[in-house]
Amino acid sequence: MEKKSFLEDIGKAFVPKRFRPGLRMYLAKAGINYVPYKFFGILFYVAIALTAAIYFLTNFYNLVADSPPLLVGLYVFLFWFVSSFVLSSVIIAGVYFYLNLQIYNRVKIIEFHLQDYLVLVSTNLKGGLSFDKSLWVSIKPEFGILSEEMGLVSKKVMTGTDLKDAMRELALKYDSPTMKRTMDILMGQLESGGEIADVLDQIIDNLRKTKIIKEEMVANTLLFTIFITAIVVVISPLLFALAFNLLSILISVSAQIAPAMDQASTATIPFKLEEIQVDKDEFRAFSVLAISIIALFSSMILSIIQRGDILGGLKYMPFFIAASVGFYFLFMAVLSGVFSFF
């Protein structure tokens, strides 16, 4: 118990009080209803452990041991401070990226089930239930995160919160234009005292048409998707593999010709050919890195074309990178066998 409290205290020390409310709201968007200070404390010790591992593996002290004692102490301090800061920044960036992905997925799930949920709300309204009662009765487990959020709205209303305020909080919680627009229309209708069921039917119809349009856009961009996928997964690795084999041939030819040309007279041969000094292993590593970067950005481009945002293409990134690198080594093996006959 003391260990847990100590880790939480360490975590709280790195989160200023003025940032805690905003952090709590941000984590709530990702489905985390508390601030995990203990987790932050663990990350601090992970950064320290990684810094120590780098310090001893690189044998940093021996590198600066010949300097004056004061400079040695300064160098060691700067190494620990800079390394810990960089590692902490990388870890925080990774956690932030993961949370953004979680928020994005939650928003997409909410938008996906919103139409079906509103259909039930409209049906219950037409059956004679009040609007707030319809919101509660229409909650079904299959709606997932949307059920959780609407359950919170209904509970707030039951404990005395005004329905419009509860709906406004939900609209502001997620960065979803669809949710915000729907809630704004419903709140405006509640304030004007109009017939909500008719407005709900119009919203449902608009959501259905929007979904159809998005599906048509994805279908229309299928040709671009196939074209970009073929370039990234097949053509780009093939060209890099071909370049590697051509480089291997040039290195082999230059290694045989260069010594003979050095012995020949410059009057006989008016130019000089030197042996090519290119490391094939370095070129292979460069090719893998270049192909991976191409695959990474291509998956982002495909996501923008199909879904209108980058986060939606994250699931394509591992496939694109693995497939393109795999084809690169496959083409390397095939072309090496082909060129070995010449």
Residue 63 falls in which region: left (phi positive, over 0), alpha (psi -120 to 50) or beta:
alpha
Give exposure, 125-145, as e/b (b: 16+ Cβ within 10 Å).
Answer: beeebebbebbbebbeeebeb
**Based on the domain organization, do 147 and 241 belong to the same domain?**
no
Instruction: Report whether pLDDT(276) > 70.
Output: no
Instruction: Report whether pLDDT(278) > 60.
Output: yes
Give exposure, 154-171, as e/b (b: 16+ Cβ within 10 Å).
Answer: bebbeeeeebeebbeebb
The pLDDT of residue 266 is 52
Q: Report residue 274's pLDDT band, with 50, 70 and 90 as the boundaries.
A: low
Q: Tell me 274's DSSP state.
A: P
pLDDT tens for each residue of 247-260: 887 777 766 665 65
Side chain identity at residue 282, one-letter code: E
Among 206, 234, 253, the domain-final residue is: 206
**Based on the domain organization, do 92 and 177 belong to the same domain?**
no
Please tell me the least confidently modeled range out of 164-173, 278-287, 301-310, 313-322: 301-310
> What is the extent of the structural domain holding 199?
114-206
Among 79, 105, 131, the domain-final residue is: 105
The pLDDT of residue 94 is 85
CB 103 within 8 A of CB 171: no
Beta carbons within 10 angstroms of residue 328's beta carbon: 24
**Based on the domain organization, do 147 and 199 belong to the same domain?**
yes
Q: What percent of the chain lies above the pLDDT cut of 70?
A: 87
**Based on the domain organization, do 118 and 98 belong to the same domain?**
no
Range of 10-19, 138-147, 188-197, 269-278 with top mean pLDDT: 138-147
**Based on the domain organization, do 252 and 333 belong to the same domain?**
yes
Q: Report residue 55's pLDDT band, with 50, 70 and 90 as the boundaries.
A: confident
Domain membership of residue 88 (yes or no) is: yes
Instruction: Report whether pLDDT(270) > 60.
Output: no
**Based on the domain organization, do 132 and 85 belong to the same domain?**
no
Structure tokens at 5: 């409290």
pLDDT tens for each residue of 135-191: 888 888 888 888 888 888 888 888 888 888 888 888 888 888 888 888 888 888 777
pTM of the model: 0.68
Name the nearest CA neighbour of 207 among 76, 117, 317: 117
The pLDDT of residue 256 is 66
Domain membership of residue 211 (yes or no) is: no
Instruction: Report whether pLDDT(11) > 80.
Output: no
Domain membership of residue 227 (yes or no) is: yes
Name the nearest CA neighbour of 35 among 18, 49, 50, 21: 21
Instruction: Report whether pLDDT(42) > 80.
Output: yes
Q: Report residue 275's pLDDT band, with 50, 70 and 90 as the boundaries.
A: low
**Based on the domain organization, do 330 and 233 belong to the same domain?**
yes
Structure tokens at 190: 């509640």
Q: Report residue 2's pLDDT band, with 50, 70 and 90 as the boundaries.
A: very low
Q: What is the sign, positive or negative, of the torsion defined by CA atoms of 303, 306, 309, 312? A: negative
**Based on the domain organization, do 99 and 119 belong to the same domain?**
no
Instruction: Report whether pLDDT(30) > 50.
Output: yes
Q: Report residue 289's pLDDT band, with 50, 70 and 90 as the boundaries.
A: very high
Domain membership of residue 212 (yes or no) is: no
Instruction: Report whether pLDDT(271) > 60.
Output: no
**Based on the domain organization, do 193 and 232 belong to the same domain?**
no
Domain membership of residue 271 (yes or no) is: yes
pLDDT tens for each residue of 80-121: 888 888 888 888 888 888 888 888 888 888 888 888 888 888
Q: How many structural domains is the chain composed of?
A: 3
Instruction: Report whether pLDDT(279) > 50.
Output: yes
Helices (H), ranges, 176-279 = 177-192, 196-220, 222-230, 236-263
Name the nearest CA neighbour of 229 among 278, 299, 313: 299
The pLDDT of residue 290 is 92
The pLDDT of residue 3 is 45
Among 105, 131, 146, the domain-final residue is: 105
**Based on the domain organization, do 329 and 229 belong to the same domain?**
yes
Domain membership of residue 216 (yes or no) is: no
**Based on the domain organization, do 168 and 242 belong to the same domain?**
no
Q: Report residue 238's pLDDT band, with 50, 70 and 90 as the boundaries.
A: very high
**Based on the domain organization, do 324 and 282 belong to the same domain?**
yes
